[in-house]
Amino acid sequence: MIPTLAQSLTQTQDEIPSLSDIFETITLRSGFNTNAVIIAATLLGIAAGIIGAFALLRKRSLTADALSHATLPGIAGAFLIASALGYAGRSLPILLIGATISGIIGVGFIHLILTKTRLKEDAAIGIVLSVFFGIGVVLLSVVQSTASSGAAGLNHFIYGQTAAMLTQDAITMGIIAIIAILIALIAMKEITAVCFNESFASVIGISAGVIDALILSLIVLVTVAGLQAVGLILIVAMLIIPPAAARFWTDRTKRLVILSAVIGALSGFVGSSMSALLPRKPAGAVIVLSAGCVFIISMLIAPRRGIIAQFIRNAQLKLRIAIDHTLEHKYAHPEKVQRSSLPLRIILRFKGFTNSLADSSSLTESGLRRGRRVRRNHMLWEQYLITQADIAPSHVDWSVDLVEHVLDEDLIHRLEHEIRASGLELEEVAR
Amino acid sequence: MSASSTTTDPAPRSALDARPEHSADNPLSVHAMTVAYHRKPVLWDVDYDAPPGSLVAIVGPNGAGKSTFIKACLGLIPSAAGTVEFWGKPYARARSKIGYVPQRETVDWDFPVSALDVVCMGLYRKIGWFKPVRRVHRDAAMESLAKMGLADYAHRQIAQLSGGQQQRVFLARALVQNADLYFMDEPFAGVDAATEAAIIDVLRELRSQGKTVIVVHHDLQTVPTYFDHAMLLNMRIVAVGPVGEVFTNANLHKTYGGRLTLLAEASEAVARAGKHKNPSKKSQSSSPTK
């Protein structure tokens, strides 16, 4: 079983392109049509990156998924109607208009379900996505059983196929992408305001309804532009993955949008170039996989928000807590010997807090200072929790080190006073 | 929204005509406002005229319609009936003179913006559609942040601020709007003592400039010290007027019904009004006694 599968895979494999072919393709020297497709796919990547960033911020990414699936009945329907009326059904503008109309009808149905029933958004999206896709598949089979050879290309709209794209198709796609980019950039300020705080935006006259309609129109433009190259199943990935990857690297909207556009452009460029070199590989999937690689790398190595950075931060925090506890204990009860792990003892010694590696080691001057400080801050926190916690029950960073940053000086003085008044000793720490 | 309800429903209009006291000087005039969610009314026939240059507290139990009242005034939710006017004009024509501080919980604080970005949003109306934020605007926003004691935090992402600081960012955004009438939805909820003091300073400064601030407030104990006027609300207006006149035991009883534990505390607070220094939070929901 396995060998046959492997064999069948090798048979469909493309020849590995030569280095000079690769170089020619990525430097846009391998023919006008290929270049047009690559440039258009890159523009599409930029458009999807920018608009995807807004969809992400507005939490509308999955609506885009339903929309793209809902374009299929429109594509097949437009073909059937145009053919019946005697036009060339395969004409791209006609198909894209059909896709737009049925995509919007699909989103309309989501809206209808949400406003007129008690169903929630996930169910509404799931229903519309699958039902419209089902209708599309049925219509497609009708097309294939009745129509002439001109119908064959319609399948490409599902998975995407840049190799079959004509130059004028690429130009159409590029122009739609540019329009979407321009609109998104012009309205960025207003879109951001609504995404962040809908009610405030409404109060200052930026209607959420208008902006949502705008975002939706932009998603329609990107989806329709990308149908041929990426396909309706995977186009949503171009809207979701680049901004999600970009979010790991920045916490400013403008940078998020730029970075998302760059990642989208890169994926579009790499994917369409590879598809030009290896014509059997579906461009859509390769574009999405390129973006996926960027996402995984971002998720792992991004500073601050990345998984590795978070892991390191947690480990550091744990270590600091362990150090603080040990020092506090040694400071408060110098006569008691507390067992701790060898690595911790090594670190304490290395940092100059203890005099030897033994569990019974006494503290150095700096160890005593640190222990005193930790002890004092712990007492302050305890007093704070007892007497003041009802003032700010939430949003308090419990890290001992931060006591001076979280509580204002006035309150610390009051806490100190209360602790002394209750007869406890409070260590003096120079601030 | 309010304007359209005038035309579709003739009843409030005639009632409005019959009110001689209805004045263009009042920053806010609400007449016969009724609001319903899913056909269940949450606000009944509310009439209210806010006096200029005053701090107004809206108090009432949970579900009394306090936030709903503010949102309906601002056209954020539709009114089933009634009119809302600002200085005698509909909302759409008074927009530039109205500021708003929504509840802190209504936004995603992980959103990728800095404190300064958020405050700049208060100027978006002045800046105009599709026009960029310029240095003048950023300077104005910065000034407003500094006023709230947040100058050092301007370039932090908002998730890295404490709850109180986030609330002050919202205040700063409202201040930069430079409005004449402010609506604030629970600005004191869950904030630290320093923030509470900063907010009340701002409220008093606004009042001294002749502006009106309408605040949804949870803490009955601080109403007499912080506010001039109070609106006691429980689906309908129970009492409204100067705090000294309306903040009585009887009115509080009518507003809060049988929640006796709370009432005892509240009347105690009224008695002690002014002397109280360090108020603690007591929410209405924490008093289940009937």
* Interface predicted TM-score (ipTM) over 0.90: no
Q: Position of tokens 């920053």?
A: B27
For residue A187, the chain B residues in CB contact (below 8 A) are: 130
Total residues belonging to chain A: 431
Is there a domain that residue B284 lies in? no
Interface test with B, best of A251, A254, A407, A408 (most B CBs within 10 A): A251
Which long-range contacts link A291-297 to residues 24+ away (Cβ below 8 Å)?
A291/A237, A291/A238, A291/A241, A291/A242, A291/A245, A291/A263, A291/A264, A291/A267, A292/A237, A292/A241, A294/A241, A294/A242, A294/A245, A294/A263, A294/A266, A294/A267, A295/A241, A295/A244, A295/A245
Contact B177 A411 (CB under 8 A): no
Q: Does A203 touch chain B (CB under 8 A)?
A: yes
d(CA A314, CA A399): 13
For residue B132, the chain A residues in CB contact (below 8 A) are: 189
Q: Does A418 touch chain B (CB under 8 A)?
A: no
Chain A residue nearest residue B278, CA to CA: A391
Contact A390 B280 (CB under 8 A): yes
**Cβ-based neighbours of A70, under 8 Å, separated by 6 or more:** A102, A103, A105, A106, A107, A128, A129, A132, A133
pLDDT greater than 80 at residue A378: no
Is there a domain that residue B286 lies in? no
Chain B residue nearest residue A208, CA to CA: B76
Chain B residue nearest residue A396, CA to CA: B162
Least confidently predicted of A138-147, A180-189, B75-84: A138-147
Contact A197 B106 (CB under 8 A): yes
* Closest by Cβ to A187, choosing from B114, B130, B133: B130
* Closest by Cβ to B125, choosing from A204, A388, A396: A204
To the nearest whole Å, the CA of B154 is away from the closest chain A CA by 13
For residue A390, the chain B residues in CB contact (below 8 A) are: 280-281
**Cβ-based neighbours of A224, under 8 Å, separated by 6 or more:** A71, A96, A99, A100, A103, A176
Question: How many separate domains does chain B show?
Answer: 1
Q: For B137-160, write each residue's pLDDT tens digit.
A: 999 999 999 999 999 999 999 998
For residue B159, the chain A residues in CB contact (below 8 A) are: 251
Q: For B13-58, write each residue's pLDDT tens digit.
A: 444 444 445 567 889 999 999 998 877 788 989 999 999 999 999 9
pTM here? 0.83
- What was the pLDDT predicted at A320? 83
Is there a domain that residue B288 lies in? no
For residue A253, the chain B residues in CB contact (below 8 A) are: 111-113, 117
Contact A197 B107 (CB under 8 A): yes
Higher local confidence (pLDDT), B61 or B283: B61
Is there a domain that residue B285 lies in? no
Is there a domain that residue B130 lies in? yes
d(CA A54, CA B131): 18
Interface test with B, best of A395, A406, A418 (most B CBs within 10 A): A395
* Closest by Cβ to B162, choosing from A200, A256, A395: A395
d(CA A220, CA A228): 14
Is there a domain that residue B282 lies in? no
Contact A193 B121 (CB under 8 A): yes
Q: Are B120 and B133 within 8 A, CB to CB?
A: yes
Does domain A308-421 fall under CATH 1.10.10? My reply is yes
Percentage of chain B lying above the pLDDT 70 cut: 81
Contact B163 A190 (CB under 8 A): no
d(CA A322, CA A325): 5
* Residue of B100, B240, B264, B244 whose CA lies nearest to B183: B100
Is there a domain that residue B153 lies in? yes
The token pair that represents A221 in the structure block: 């433009």
- Segments making up each domain of chain A, as ranges: 18-300, 308-421
Q: Does A406 touch chain B (CB under 8 A)?
A: yes
Q: Position of tokens 């026009």?
A: B131
- As a three-state string, the secondary structure of chain B is CHHHHHHHCHHHHHHHHCCCCCCCCCCEEEEEEEEEECCEEEEEEEEEEECCCCEEEEECCCCCCHHHHHHHHCCCCCCCEEEEEECCECHHHHHHHEEEECCHHHCCCCCCCEHHHHHHHCCHHHHCCCCCCCHHHHHHHHHHHHHCCCHHHCCCEHHHCCHHHHHHHHHHHHHHCCCCEEEEECCCCCCCHHHHHHHHHHHHHHHHCCCEEEEECCCHHHHHHHCCEEEEEECEEEEEEEHHHHCCHHHHHHHHCCCHHHHHHHHHHHHHCCCCCCCCCCCHHHCCCC
Q: For A263-315, write each residue's pLDDT tens digit.
A: 999 999 998 888 888 877 788 888 999 999 999 999 999 998 999 999 998 89
* Residue of B239, B240, B290, B236 whose CA lies nearest to B263: B290
Confidence of residue B7 (pLDDT cuts 50, 70, 90): very low
Residue A67: how many CB atoms within 10 A of its CB?
Answer: 33
For residue A391, the chain B residues in CB contact (below 8 A) are: 192-193, 196, 278, 280-281
What number is the average pLDDT over the span B176-191? 94
Interface test with A, best of B2, B28, B111 (most A CBs within 10 A): B111
Which domain CATH number covers B162?
Answer: 3.40.50.300
d(CA A412, CA A377): 10
Higher local confidence (pLDDT), B134 or A413: B134
Query: Per the CATH hierarchy, to which homologous superfamily does domain A18-300 belong?
Result: ABC transporter involved in vitamin B12 uptake, BtuC (1.10.3470.10)
Residue A327 half-sphere exposure toward CB, CA atoms < 13 A: 29
Q: Which domain holds residue B71?
A: 2-275
